Amino acid sequence: MINLAVSTALAAHPELAKFGQIKFDAPDAPRYALANGLVVYIVKDNTLPVVHFSAYIKAGSAYDPAAKIGLAQLTAPLLRDGGTAKYKAEDIDKTLEYLGATLDTGAYTEETQAEMTALRKDLDKALDIYADVLRNPAFEEEKVKIARDEVLELIRRRNDSPAKAAGREARRRFFGPANPYGWRNEEATINAITRADLAAFHAAHFRPNNMILAVSGDFTSDEEALAKIKEKFGDWQPAEVIKPAVPAPDHQGGRQIYLVDKDVAQASIVIVQKGVRRTDPANDAITVLSDILGGGFQSRLFAEVRTKRGLAYSVGSYGASLREGGFLITSCGTKNETYSQALSEMLKQLGLVGSAPVTPEELERSKGSTINPFVFKFSTPHKLAVERALEEYYGYEKGHLDNYVKAISAVDAAAAQAAGKLFDPSSAVIYVIGNSKKFDRPLSEFGPVTELKED
């Protein structure tokens, strides 16, 4: 008789093939500088009859005046949507649609970006619009009102996602109300912005010596591309651009816990600690250690919080670096009824990261997961131009990209361990949005709690 009973024993987990780290040298891109200070990186690519332009302007939300927070975010879309000296807003839309071209603008913490893609045969017309958008925005009153209303609607809906709200508010509490890295748009500051403010912000920051262009596409030569750029941007006058000072984070030490008591399905937990500025040499070791701690399925946080205890669907950590500082953030979403178990384990792992030895397996996995995706930063000619432009834009020394793989590979267990000193859960901002009526333990057991109203 054949026994058809199914064994309940689990099959052994298959051994996956192991691959070494990718050996990769970042390609170079020619750099040019116009007499007015405009820096241009050009990568010729004749595979398709298409051209790409990416502009990076040092004019992000960190450059907003304190009384008009949101100015950069309002300015950016209106560069395109508010018309220009030569083109009405509707004409820009119709012309780009007819050409099959795209032109998008947006503002972030430390930069405003303007992206344009067009067919080679339409370059002259598309580039004329692109240059006028960057140089001569008109900020049409009707379009300003529409853009303002859109931002106000985003403010009204900013707490729709508790997880996003917890991340935003944790950073805001960490940096403090006087620090632009922690600012958020408010109805009062948006309503205070006038068309004159938009024009003044543009005049102060949108200058050729405050911008870098990344260009790629179907040009016969770099000289042809450069000639077209000089034609549209060469007579743009440079000016002194003053960078606003960014103070140190308001949070200087000691644990601070904040609670927004809200009837939500699960609790959102965010822990923020001090990081380092973008160009700090410690970033390589921090990158490796952050990945070991919470960078993926095999990270310590994922293994302990999700795999072993089943307390969260997603949990992780990462470091974010800015011009004048940075932060380390750890987060998860978990059931209200077991939130304390998840928070306890997160704090435990943050405490251990500076003392628990980094194993050879962890080190090798983390360096591989950091290095191997690096090649995809250069997967297209335009990405290459962009990466070379951003290397300079963000203030890295020349050679940062060339030495990145070598620098990450050089991180050893001792260096990763030393980076763990930054992780100090006793000196962190902990922000929780959850239903305290369902909490298994009072949040106050983790330290003094400040309860906040959602706003």
Q: Are 294 and 306 in contact (CB under 8 A)?
A: no
pLDDT of residue 451: 97
For residue 19, give the nearest of 369, 294, 290, 295 by alpha carbon: 369
Cα angle 368, 372, 373 (rounded to 5 degrees) comes to 125
The identity of residue 98, as a single letter, is: Y
For residue 87, give the nearest of 151, 134, 149, 54 by alpha carbon: 134
**Gap between the Cα atoms of 28 and 7, Å rounded:** 58
β-pairing verdict for 39-44 and 102-107: unpaired
Domain 256-452 has CATH 3.40.30.10: no
Domains 31-233 and 256-452 belong to one CATH topology: yes
**Gap between the Cα atoms of 439 and 311, Å rounded:** 14
Give residue-wise pLDDT tens across range 273-292: 999 999 999 999 999 999 99
pLDDT of residue 21: 53
Distance (Å) of CA 433 to CA 175, 181, 271, 336, 354? 19, 21, 12, 10, 28
Instruction: Spell out the alpha helix ranges (H) of 378-442.
Output: 381-393, 400-409, 413-419
pLDDT of residue 166: 97
Query: Can you list the residues of the chain whose pLDDT is less than 50?
Result: 1-17, 19
**Gap between the Cα atoms of 338 and 22, Å rounded:** 41
**Gap between the Cα atoms of 2 and 225, Å rounded:** 76
Residue corresponding to tokens 């960014």: 246
Distance (Å) of CA 233 to CA 51, 139, 369? 17, 20, 41
Structure-token pair, residue 299? 């990270």
Per-domain residue ranges of the chain = 31-233, 256-452
Structure-token pair, residue 369? 């997961």
The identity of residue 277, as a single letter, is: R
Which 3 state secondary structure label does DSSP give 421? helix
pLDDT of residue 199: 98
Q: Are 206 and 39 in contact (CB under 8 A)?
A: no
Superfamily (CATH) of domain 31-233? Metalloenzyme, LuxS/M16 peptidase-like (3.30.830.10)
Q: What is the Cα Rg of the chain in Å? A: 25
Q: Are 335 and 266 in contact (CB under 8 A)?
A: yes
β-pairing verdict for 31-33 and 39-44: antiparallel
**Gap between the Cα atoms of 64 and 109, Å rounded:** 10
Residue corresponding to tokens 């816990």: 257
Instruction: Spell out the alpha helix ranges (H) of 176-238.
Output: 187-191, 195-205, 222-233
